[in-house]
Amino acid sequence: MARNTHHLIDAYRQLRNNTENVVLATIIETLGSTYQKAGARMLIAQNGELNGLLGGGCFEQDLVEQARSVFETGKPKTLFYDMRSPDDVVWGLGLGCNGAVRVLLQLLDHGNDFSPLNSIAEASRNGTADILATVYQSDHPTYLAGDSFFLTGAELEGLVQLVNMPWLIVKTAKQTWVQNKSIIETHVIDGHAVKIFFDMILPPSQLLVFGAGADVLPVAELAKTLGWRVTIVDHRPAYIKPERFPKVDDLLHSMPEELHERLPLNRFDAVVLMTHSIEYDERYLRVISTSRIPFIGLLGPVQRRDRLLNSLALDASKIAAKVFGPVGLDIGAETPEEIALSILAGIHAAINDRIGGQLSSNITDVQHDS
């Protein structure tokens, strides 16, 4: 699943309406168990207001204090918070956490359209996976600490030519892109050491829901809270009203057989069938059986799932392994809101290759991924 950047994108839309600079705080390295992992980002306003969290409140206040000098000088700053010592002897805040993080503070200038935040927002709009390379320490006269380079997937695939970019940076960016894992690398460019943080910027997860009944409302609302893009399709035009789903990204009135011409199905990470009609669920299911959507959720009991799969005959084998019915985690859900939580938790667990059990049941040291 994509790292959550929706708070940054929402903030960027608001920032474009004012002229105040902000500081971008990015975790570039972690050791041990930490609240967030490398690549997690947070914005700090000049009045100390935060957008996002990096340490769950552990060191945010210190970041606000440290950001003051970044606002004043415009120069980036790298900080290291080591919370592995029981006495926190390194910086003495006595938090009692069990990990260490390295954080880069970087000024985003309104005169430069808050780069690289603008590139992150553009990647989200385009639905592309790209690489953000940020220099955090350097004695090179051209590649300065705080500089960022955005490399698109098309450039990394060789579909678009890269201009004036050192091959060492491109090589590591491609490695990050292939592995989908953040990398810190020191490159020697023109005899100068340049330390760079490479991170993959993924588009928001995309949820497709068939059906626009009342029980879809909390599903859509919660998915948007999580920063997902949500598309709702229904065969009944009276149900597809913007005023019913004000936050949903796309509403589409479509019969099942028209979907291939009207919607790029392979872009979705998950689909849930909520028409409450066995006939329409079957027709929508038949259409998506040829897609690459990795998660297909069905409402109702196992018998209903089996009936729907049996209706596909030989096509059932194409999707049986990725069909979840009843959809959702077993959390004792009864109300529409609880069922929505169950559904989205189940999707989140499945596409992150997790079983969705209690964290306390894991005998290994739990690390909360960003």
Q: In sequence order, what DSSP letters do the residues of 264-324 get, joined into one string?
A: -GGG-SEEEE----HHHHHHHHHHHTTS--S-EEE-S-HHHHHHHHHHTGGGHHHHGGGEE
Pinpoint the alpha helices (H) of 182-270: 216-225, 259-262
Instruction: For 318-339, write each residue's pLDDT tens digit.
Output: 899 999 999 999 999 999 999 9
* Lowest model confidence (mean pLDDT) among 10-19, 61-70, 204-213, 249-258: 10-19
Residues 6+ apart with CB under 8 A from 351: 1, 205, 269, 270, 294, 295
Alpha-helix runs per DSSP H in the chain? 6-15, 60-73, 117-126, 153-156, 167-179, 216-225, 259-262, 278-288, 302-311, 316-319, 336-351
Alpha carbon distance 125, 341 (integer Å): 26
Q: List the structure tokens of 92.
A: 């003495």
Average pLDDT of the chain to the nearest whole number: 88
Across residues 65-76, what is the average pLDDT?
95
Structural domains of the chain in order of their starting residue, each with its CATH number: 1-203 (no CATH), 206-351 (3.40.50.720)
Distance linking the first and last C-alpha atoms of the chain: 10
Instruction: Tell me the per-residue pLDDT of 183-203, one tens digit each, with 9 for 90 and over.
Output: 999 999 999 999 999 999 988
189 residue type, one letter: I
Q: Which pLDDT value is given to residue 157?
A: 80
pLDDT tens digits along 270-305: 999 999 999 999 999 999 999 999 999 999 999 999
Q: Which residue has the higher pLDDT, 78 or 14?
A: 78
Dihedral sign of CA atoms 321, 322, 325, 330 in order: positive
Say whether 185 sits in a helix, a strand or coil: strand
Give the alpha-carbon dihedral of 327, 331, 333, 339, to 10 degrees: -40
Instruction: Characterize the bridge pairing of strands 50-51 and 77-82.
Output: unpaired
> Over pLDDT 90: what percentage of the chain?
62
Residue whose token pair is 């893009």: 229
Alpha helices in 51-107 (DSSP H): 60-73
Query: What average pLDDT does the segment 130-137 reach?
Result: 94
Q: What is d(CA 98, CA 101) in angstroms, rounded to the nearest whole number?
A: 10
Q: What percent of the chain shows pLDDT beyond 70?
A: 92
The pLDDT tens digits of the residues spanning 40-51 come to 999 999 999 999
Is residue 281 exposed (0-12), middle (13-18) or buried (19+ Cβ within 10 Å)? Answer: buried
Under 8 Å between Cβ of 100 and 28: no
Mean pLDDT value of segment 165-174: 89
Q: How far apart are CA 61 and CA 43, in angstroms?
A: 13
Question: Contact, 351 vs 205, CB < 8 A?
Answer: yes
* Three-state SS at 208: strand
